[in-house]
Amino acid sequence: MPFTELHIGIDDTDSPQEGCTTYVAALLIEELKQRGARFKDYPQLIRLNPNIPWKSRGNGAVCLRIMADARDLQHMLDAAIDLVKKLEAQPGSNPGIAVLKGSVPTPLEGFSKAALHEVLTINDARKVAIKNHVELLPDSERRGIIGALAAIGQTLLNTDYTYELLAYRIQEMRGKPRRVDPKSVVEMDKLTHPFTFNNIDYETGRILITPRGPDPVLFGIRGENPEILVKALSMLKVEEPIERWVIFRTNQGTDAHLAFPPKRIKQLKPYEAVTLEGVISKQPMVIPGGHVIASISDRTGEVDIAAYEPTGSFREVVKKLTPGDLVKVYGGVRPISTGKFTINLEKLVIVKVAELYVEKNPRCPRYGKRMKSEGKGKGFSCPKCKYRDPKAEKEKIPVQRELEEGKVYLPPPRAQRHLTKPLQRYGREKTRWTGPMIEKWYYPP
């Protein structure tokens, strides 16, 4: 029986108000399984550039990689198209489907990497699809084809990756408060740490596995391997029915959008995800709303950096910066009304702190007390013994800096992007995937 390798990319079936591309994938998995498809890999959830202004929530696309009987391919594709048409959210969605037969070509991988940190167009996607024999369905003028194509190109074979178990609600519960016992989430987090991450924001006590919108997702558990996610699921006390769940392999929690060489300030473009290295050039200040703004410069220019109020304690780190500090900043390029840019900070690394001093009056050589100034250029005198030194100068005393060189500073989990690599993942990066898949990676079977 001739089998063909098939990659199905799907994106933008949701809107800011409703829908979920991963839910479409969950339903399609069952459809394809019933039609005899064999999955080469876990379904992949690929997060793309989080700074795109027209994205819907997490800017995630999905790719299903299967082996199928060549005689059944068209039926499978028809099933995918019908499902997307049936479930696409209205209004605001721009669904796209991309289909590739055979192995993923190198140029398509390049397109996918660019989609992690650049702004790409529908025309860019169409050109790459034509050159690499990717079929775009059902409408090649929809924005969703960009993410669908990028999801196919991001194979996660030679790069860091994580997993997420996503559980979905039954129809009648959608739009109602999610019923997952917070105490069971706390217990699960303690027992699975450090192999699951971003379950709770301990700074505020907020539970992070449950979203807040009307979409079908009941909860999502993120972790290092499928086995720990199944174990974590068994620990949760869920007080409403689970319609289905699926384990996705994903680039979440990997900093994939920031894993590129530092840029020069003059090279910045709107809505990019960038890394910059430079010197703090202006003292941080707090503006209305509690946001903290500083500036960084290199040989090509200067740009503001911002830690906004939702980043909580991270703002205190930014406040401690001072002119002369050498730093690496990571974040999104936001254009502002003045025609300039601001970098929305996602991560900060202190390369080298500047030396700071405070000036104090010299001490009396007899009593050790600090003397008083006699006036500008007239020296100092001791008020107790009347000792006077007309040539004495103020002492420069080093200030102990509270920032640590080489340390990675992040916002609290509630303010992190899906792609942000949490501190507990440093040193746990994976370089290649070999499988095999666990037997129970989706429900219902």
Among positive and negative, which fits the CA dihedral 382, 387, 389, 390? positive
- Per the model's pLDDT, the better-predicted residue between 120 and 12 turns out to be 120
pLDDT of residue 74: 79
Identify the residue whose tokens are 């994976």.
430
Beta strand pairing call for 242-250 and 44-47: parallel
Q: Summarize pLDDT for 300-318 with one digit per residue, the tens.
A: 999 999 999 999 999 999 9
Q: Summarize pLDDT for 159-206 with one digit per residue, the tens.
A: 999 999 999 999 999 889 999 999 999 999 999 999 999 999 999 999
Q: Summarize pLDDT for 272-308 with one digit per residue, the tens.
A: 999 999 999 999 999 999 999 999 999 999 999 999 9
Q: What is the mean pLDDT of residues 319-331?
A: 97
Architecture of domain 271-353+409-415: Beta Barrel (2.40)
Q: Which residues contact 34 (CB under 8 A, 6 or more apart)?
A: none
Identify the residue whose tokens are 């790069």.
159
Q: Summarize pLDDT for 343-366 with one digit per residue, the tens.
A: 999 999 999 999 998 989 999 988
pTM, rounded to two decimals: 0.91
pLDDT of residue 342: 96
Please write down the long-range contacts of 331-335, taking CB distance under 8 Å and 24 or more positions apart.
Answer: 331/273, 331/274, 331/305, 332/50, 332/51, 332/271, 332/272, 332/273, 332/274, 333/51, 333/268, 333/269, 333/270, 333/271, 333/272, 333/273, 333/274, 334/51, 334/270, 334/271, 334/306, 335/270, 335/271
Identify the residue whose tokens are 């650049």.
118
Residue 188 per-residue DSSP state: H
One CATH from 1.10.8.420, 3.40.190.10, 3.90.600.20, 2.40.50.100 for 162-254: 3.90.600.20
At residue 19, the 3 state secondary structure works out as coil
pLDDT of residue 47: 97
pLDDT beyond 80 at 1: no
Which element (helix H / strand E) includes 348?
A: strand 341-352
Helix 226-235, helix 182-192: angle, nearest 10: 140
Identify the residue whose tokens are 């660019």.
114
As a whole number of angstroms, the distance between CA 144 and CA 306 comes to: 30
Q: What is the mean pLDDT of residues 134-138?
A: 83
Q: Are 303 and 338 in contact (CB under 8 A)?
A: no
pLDDT of residue 15: 58
Phi, psi of 184 (to 5 degrees): -70, -30
Identify the residue whose tokens are 């068209």.
74
Domain ranges of the chain: 3-155, 162-254, 271-353+409-415, 357-398
Q: CA separation (Å) from 244 to 19, 107, 152, 392, 394?
A: 15, 36, 24, 79, 72
At residue 7, the 3 state secondary structure works out as strand
Closest alpha carbon to 180 in 210, 137, 145 = 210
One CATH from 3.40.50.800, 3.40.50.720, 3.60.15.10, 3.30.70.2200 for 3-155: 3.30.70.2200
